[in-house]
Amino acid sequence: MTAYDYLSQYGILLKRVNYLESRATNLRYEYNLDGVTGICYDKDKVISSPSNTFESKMAKYLDEIDEIVDEYYTQKIQAERTLMEINDKLLELALKYPRKKGTVEVLRLRYLKGLRYEQIAVETCYDFDYVRRLNADGLTLFYETYQEELNLVGIK
């Protein structure tokens, strides 16, 4: 696994958590549970089937929302663990290489806060090209420092 792949894990998990959150919020609109009628009869004949009843729609809705909520909490816990793990490694990197604090700060802003290079340049008062160079240097430094651990996680 490359340093980029490792550091990008948190952002990917965070996007998945946000997607699940919005999916759960919008689910009720998909099922439109207002105005659902039950079984309609016309002189002892069934006109509509019970598959369109409020209860069946509510059961489908509850099943789907349960799945989404379970996955949401699983992904959220994984994202928080990944955030803490990466944050700890970046802090350790900053302590190990005190002269590289700017490089580590760029990695933190890029991969944990999700900022673009332009935003990092504004926040740190660095030049855009310098931010890109610090990011590249930081990825190299991160990989060289944690190479054994990264190779255990995946293939480079």
DSSP string over 57-119: HHHHHHHHHHHHHHHHHHHHHHHHHHHHHHHHHHHHHHHH-GGGHHHHHHHIIIIIS---HHH
CA distance linking residue 59 with residue 26, whole number of Å: 17
For 133-138, what is the mean pLDDT?
97
Q: Which residue has the tokens 């965070």?
A: 14
pLDDT at 42: 52
- pLDDT at position 26, please? 83
Contacts for 151 with CB less than 8 Å, ≥ 6 apart: 1
- Residue 91 has a pLDDT of 96
Euclidean distance between CA atoms 140 and 130, whole angstroms: 15
- pLDDT digit string, tens, across residues 80-133: 999 999 999 999 999 999 999 999 999 999 999 999 999 999 999 999 999 999
Of 58, 69, 55, 57, whose CA–CA distance to 24 is shortest?
69
As a whole number of angstroms, the distance between CA 99 and CA 156 comes to 27
Q: Name the residue range of residue 93's domain.
A: 3-153
Beta strand 41-42 with 45-46 is antiparallel
State the pLDDT confidence band at 52, using cuts at 50, 70 and 90: low
> What is the tally of structural domains in the chain?
1
